[in-house]
Chain A
Amino acid sequence: MKTTLFAVLCSALLVLGIAGPGNAEVGVTETEIHIGQWSPQTGPAAPWGAVARGTDAYFKWINANGGIHGRKLVHHYFDDAYNPAKTIAGVKQLQEQTGMFAWASGVGTACGLAVRDYLMEKKIPWVGPSAGSRHWVNPPYKYLFNVYPLYLGDAQLLTEYAITEMGKKKIAVVYQEDDYGKQGLEGTEYILKKHDMELVEAVPVAITDTDMRPHAMKLRQSDADAVLLFVTPGHVARVLGTAKAMKFEPQWMSTTTCGDCPLMIAITKGLYEGVITASFGMAKPTGHVGSVQHINDPVHERLAKFKTEIYEQFAAKDERWGYTFTAGIGFVEPLVEAIRRSGRDLTREKLVEELENMKDFQGLMGRISYAPFDPADPLTRVGQQEIFLQECTANGGSRILTEWQTTEFIPMSE
């Protein structure tokens, strides 16, 4: 009798366990929503680790304000040191041992590519990869929602501006030998072709190379009047410094990756003044074209509010209030908004549905829209195509040069 009763009880517990307490979604409990993220806290890409810390502070702020529909966001982020092998190991461990409801952001194209297929096969939503790579959307994936404007777009807008607004005739490119650099190069060539022009020089940079003298020399030989830089902030600092010593001073232009004017002015000892970069947000171009904004004294109302309420209260003592930290908030705002819109009955399918219904959502970045999944249409998952141009000023401010501009999606050539 006792044995039978025990067996019945075990069966009942097993059934209840499988059925769950009214909500069967992985990573969602009565009181918590588990979100995963990878980020380089050590290693050569460690400066981008602030993305995850920005997300973390944002989630803490949400939790301090009551969470979302009675649930707290539990943020699990781990250091992958920008090493794809560590990314995949960490993602699998967290997903299979703890169980994440969704994944947020995640720095690095190579790191993201290492886990993309795994997450998509398991139908786990992943929102806002922290890299502007076309690989996220071409082809599109049902559960992958891009937020970061593609590098192809940065290149288009910068090149178009250099030609039509600044009258530049000789354009050169310095590009990192990876997805970031090569897509920047492709976007530049795409616009040049439209103007029946050709690049005067394209100089590749190996990520491990720290000596930029030959690169600067090639640029000087090309006599370029505008040079677009699709490299890391460190390489930008080295290229500008070396070129300055060679007395080669064209109009330098760069991407959102190097759009942190206060940081760039500091590490270039002021050489970044006058450099034009693309920007995906953190400033307010509408109604302010021509004026100067500074991230420490934001004109953008939402940014000002987040500085006071998130950064000053939830960031670590030594954390720098900069574009990388704030981008960590911007990349995950659509995810948080979709969780909020999904209501109490949160499931992955509901989340995807709410993201697909998102139209012109604007947080810290440009307007973000998705559409119902169409495997033939990358635009259903691109999210943000808006960027604007800024010029860095001597004190680390940004002079707004353009309104929000919508860039064109360039599909991958066969």
Chain B
Amino acid sequence: MIDFLQMIISGIAVGSSYALMALGMVLIYKASEVPNFVQGEMALLPVFMAYMLIYSYGQSVFAAFFGALAFAMLLGCFIEFAVVRRAKNPNILGLIIITIGLEMVLLGFVSWKFGADQRVMPFPISSYSSIMIGDVYISTLDLLTLVTALVIMTCLFLFFRFSKLGVAMKATQQNETAARLMGIRTHRVKMISWGISATVGTVAGLLLAPVFMEPYMMWSPMLKGFAAAVIGGMTSLPGAVFGAYIVGIVEHLFGGYISMEYKAVVAFAVIVIVLCVRPSGLFARHYVKKV
């Protein structure tokens, strides 16, 4: 029983970082209707910028993290403004290829600028400390990730529900032409969506970096975040979070009870099962356009 509880807790812990990546992907999917494969690298570059601010410019950890988040916001906006928006009537495949190309460019830049050596990010709390509840443990970093994910989820919920910009984003996603006719500057809304998405992803990156940093560090969390977003339905923020925790928990239970060898890929089996049962994902609302 203790083992089972431990697996659930650990699954939730790892699911929190997947949730942050999934939220980022859903934000962009809602805005631009593209599965964003540059999500990981939009977080990677700011994380390495934070590292550079600390070690090359002697900034404090907090200043560097704040700088990284601000940079992420600008980076996301820039990518939408300078690249995605410039595509002429792109179809989904074209947009996917654009994001894959951007992923390679940013990854190549980080590898070139910072090298391939492994490193770790300084962090205010130790990534090795933990709290024990009976025989069940949770590391303080995991706990922080969990709390951060919950806070960001709540903020995003309130933002979309009550803020003017959030409502404008929802309107743009549902019907861009109608939104534009209502006076919403849809391009600007999309650009800000990319910025927020990159910032949320960077939070995940900054919480992963104290354990291990290398140019490929965001690849696996991005894929798991993508899996979670697909399970949740790609357009649902609560769905993405629910999907992320499902992925985390299933991975851990599968690794603990069935096979450690296939633990890393079980998330993709979950996608197949979910899409067979509910092709739109678990939480997606299906919009039917009249013709």
Instruction: Categorize the interface residue count of chain A.
Output: 35 or more
Identify which of B130, B137, B252 contacts A214 (C-beta below 8 A).
Answer: B252
Identify which of B7, B120, B215, B252 contacts A269 (C-beta below 8 A).
Answer: B120
Q: Is the CB of B260 within 8 A of A215?
A: yes
Measured CA separation A246–B215 after assembly (Å) = 27
Q: Is the CB of B130 within 8 A of A47?
A: no
- Report B-chain residues with C-beta under 8 Å of the C-beta of A210: 212, 217, 220-221
Identify which of B108, B220, B221 contacts A42 (C-beta below 8 A).
Answer: B108
Measured CA separation A125–B247 after assembly (Å) = 49
Instruction: Categorize the interface residue count of chain B.
Output: 35 or more
Interface set, chain B 12-46, CB cutoff 8 A to A = 13-14
- Report A-chain residues with C-beta under 8 Å of the C-beta of B3: 217, 221
Identify which of A208, A218, A263, A267 contacts B260 (C-beta below 8 A).
Answer: A218
Which positions in B face A, CB cutoff 8 Å?
Answer: 3, 6-7, 10, 13-14, 108, 111, 115-120, 127-130, 132, 137, 139, 141, 211-212, 214-217, 220-221, 251-252, 255-256, 260-265
- Report A-chain residues with C-beta under 8 Å of the C-beta of B251: 211, 214
A177 at the interface (CB under 8 A from B): yes
- Report A-chain residues with C-beta under 8 Å of the C-beta of B261: 177, 204, 206
* Known A210-B220, A210-B221, A214-B10; contact A245-B127, beta-carbon cutoff 8 A: yes
* Known A42-B108, A47-B116, A266-B120; contact A213-B220, beta-carbon cutoff 8 A: no
A46 at the interface (CB under 8 A from B): yes
Q: Could you list 15 A-B pairs, sorted by A, with CB under 8 Å? A: A44-B214, A203-B260, A205-B260, A206-B265, A208-B264, A209-B264, A211-B251, A242-B139, A245-B129, A246-B130, A247-B130, A263-B117, A266-B119, A267-B119, A267-B120
Q: Which residue of B lies closest to A243 (CB)?
A: B128
Q: Which residue of B lies closest to A203 (CB)?
A: B260
Shortest distance in angstroms between B274's beta carbon and chain A's nearest beta carbon?
Answer: 21
A238 at the interface (CB under 8 A from B): yes
- Report B-chain residues with C-beta under 8 Å of the C-beta of A269: 120, 127-128
- Report B-chain residues with C-beta under 8 Å of the C-beta of A217: 3, 6-7, 10, 256
* 8 new A-B contacts at CB < 8 Å, known A246-B137, A267-B212: A210-B220, A211-B251, A213-B13, A214-B7, A214-B10, A234-B212, A234-B214, A269-B127
Shortest distance in angstroms between A386's beta carbon and chain B's nearest beta carbon?
Answer: 28
- Report A-chain residues with C-beta under 8 Å of the C-beta of B132: 247
Measured CA separation A204–B265 after assembly (Å) = 14
Measured CA separation A325–B212 after assembly (Å) = 22
Q: Which residue of B lies closest to A320 (CB)?
A: B117
Measured CA separation A325–B132 after assembly (Å) = 42
Measured CA separation A320–B119 after assembly (Å) = 13
Q: Is the CB of B215 within 8 A of A206?
A: no
Q: Which residue of A lies closest to B261 (CB)?
A: A204
* Known A177-B261, A318-B115; contact A214-B256, beta-carbon cutoff 8 A: yes
List the count of A-B residue pairs having beta carbons below 8 Å apart.
99
Shortest distance in angstroms between A278's beta carbon and chain B's nearest beta carbon?
Answer: 20
- Report B-chain residues with C-beta under 8 Å of the C-beta of A328: none
* Known A214-B10, A234-B214, A267-B120; contact A209-B137, beta-carbon cutoff 8 A: no
Against B, the Cβ 8 Å flags (1 = close, 0 = not) of A260-282 are 00010011010100000000000
- Report A-chain residues with C-beta under 8 Å of the C-beta of B215: 46
- A-B pairs with lowest CB-CB distance, top 6: A46-B116, A214-B255, A245-B139, A209-B264, A245-B130, A213-B10
Measured CA separation A208–B220 after assembly (Å) = 7
Measured CA separation A204–B262 after assembly (Å) = 10
- Report B-chain residues with C-beta under 8 Å of the C-beta of A215: 255, 260
A233 at the interface (CB under 8 A from B): yes
Q: Which residue of A lies closest to B259 (CB)?
A: A204
Q: Which residue of A lies closest to B260 (CB)?
A: A204
Q: Is the CB of B260 within 8 A of A214?
A: yes
Measured CA separation A210–B119 after assembly (Å) = 15
Identify which of A42, A44, A49, A238 contacts B211 (C-beta below 8 A).
Answer: A238
- Report A-chain residues with C-beta under 8 Å of the C-beta of B220: 208-210
Output the residue of B6, B10, B139, B211 with the most chain A CB within 10 A. Answer: B211
- Report B-chain residues with C-beta under 8 Å of the C-beta of A208: 220, 264
* Known A210-B221, A213-B10; contact A245-B118, beta-carbon cutoff 8 A: no
Identify which of A209, A213, A271, A318 contacts B128 (C-beta below 8 A).
Answer: A271
Measured CA separation A331–B230 after assembly (Å) = 47
Q: Which residue of B lies closest to A47 (CB)?
A: B116
- Report A-chain residues with C-beta under 8 Å of the C-beta of B263: 206, 209, 214
Measured CA separation A318–B117 after assembly (Å) = 11
Measured CA separation A210–B260 after assembly (Å) = 13
Measured CA separation A30–B204 after assembly (Å) = 58
Measured CA separation A245–B131 after assembly (Å) = 8
* Known A213-B13, A269-B128; contact A44-B119, beta-carbon cutoff 8 A: no
Identify which of A46, A238, A241 contacts B111 (C-beta below 8 A).
Answer: A46
A157 at the interface (CB under 8 A from B): no
- Report B-chain residues with C-beta under 8 Å of the C-beta of A213: 10, 13-14, 252
Q: Is the CB of B129 within 8 A of A233?
A: no
Q: Which residue of B lies closest to A246 (CB)?
A: B137
Measured CA separation A242–B118 after assembly (Å) = 17
Shortest distance in angstroms between B65's beta carbon and chain A's nearest beta carbon?
Answer: 18
Interface set, chain A 191-209, CB cutoff 8 A to B = 203-206, 208-209
- Report B-chain residues with C-beta under 8 Å of the C-beta of A247: 130, 132, 137
